[in-house]
Amino acid sequence: MNTSNALFTTPFDHNTDFIDLADNCERFCEALVEETDPARKMALCGRLATSLALLRPMLLEPVPEYLQGRLTVDVFPDHAPVFTTESDQLNRYCEEIAQLLISGALAPESARVMSDLLFELTRYFADLLKAPRWLRTEAGVALLG
């Protein structure tokens, strides 16, 4: 696929609000998955990394007043964002991160971050695998969910 040039020219900086930066991250990731050209993939990764770096200091700050309206609804949403992935894919994520850590190719700070990610993903994976799947009822056993 040939990614839209707009992704490479869309301006953003430290003044861009966190909602727009989050939108950028989504667009960069979507394009990255589809892109086949190595140079364009690298450029998308760079733009994603820059957006994420700009977002980091904003995450612990209060939501600016001018953005509160965009995050306010009149009706409770039907769903909230959750991390959902199939167990086989989650297993692959954990395996790949473990192999990356074993390789010793990461800088110490990156290895620490990847270890933290592996810890969180593995804990989620284990909880997912050990979660109840059936419920005993007076009528018998019913599948949950």
Q: Per-residue pLDDT tens for 92-131?
A: 999 999 999 999 999 999 999 999 999 999 999 989 888 8
What is the reported pTM?
Answer: 0.76
Q: Which tokens belong to 141?
A: 């056993």
Q: Per-residue pLDDT tens for 125-143?
A: 989 888 888 889 999 888 8
Spatial separation of the C-alpha atoms in residues 41 and 44, rounded to whole Å: 5
* pLDDT value of position 82: 86
What does the CA dihedral 86, 90, 92, 94 come to, rounded to 10 degrees? -170
Spatial separation of the C-alpha atoms in residues 24 and 58, rounded to whole Å: 15
Spatial separation of the C-alpha atoms in residues 92 and 42, rounded to whole Å: 23
